[in-house]
């Protein structure tokens, strides 16, 4: 069923949408975005681990024991 408003563009639109569906373009795009988001959160997690380790408080120093002469 062709849309009459689009007239001569029907064939181009049909072929283009068919190619997009056949190539599973949206599935591939979703996979790329998923990988990007996962990698971003993994990198953020690594940075937070480094920040946590760098800001860890030092254990209190033990006072030197005084020996009797």
Residue 2 included in any domain: no
Give how far the C-alpha of residue 24 lies from the chain's centroid of Cα atoms, to the nearest Å.
Answer: 21
Residue 41 included in any domain: yes
- Residue range(s) defining the domain that contains residue 42: 9-53
Residue 28 included in any domain: yes
Residue 4 included in any domain: no
Task: Determine if the pTM surpasses 0.75.
Answer: no
The pLDDT tens digits for 8-63 are: 888 888 899 999 999 999 999 999 999 999 999 999 999 999 999 999 988 887 87
Between CA 53 and CA 35 the distance in angstroms is 27
Between CA 27 and CA 36 the distance in angstroms is 14
Residue 66 included in any domain: no
Q: Say which DSSP state 24 is in.
A: T
Domain count, the chain: 1
Q: Give the helix ranges, DSSP H, for the chain.
A: 10-22, 25-54
Residue 34 included in any domain: yes
Residue 18 included in any domain: yes
Between CA 25 and CA 19 the distance in angstroms is 9
């Amino acid at each position: 069923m062709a849309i009459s408003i689009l007239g001569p563009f029907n064939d181009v639109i049909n072929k283009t949408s068919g190619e997009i569906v056949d190539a599973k373009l949206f599935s591939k795009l979703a996979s790329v975005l998923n990988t990007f988001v996962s990698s971003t959160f993994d990198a953020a997690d690594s940075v937070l681990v480094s920040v946590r380790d760098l800001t860890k408080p030092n254990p209190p120093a033990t006072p030197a024991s005084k020996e009797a002469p």
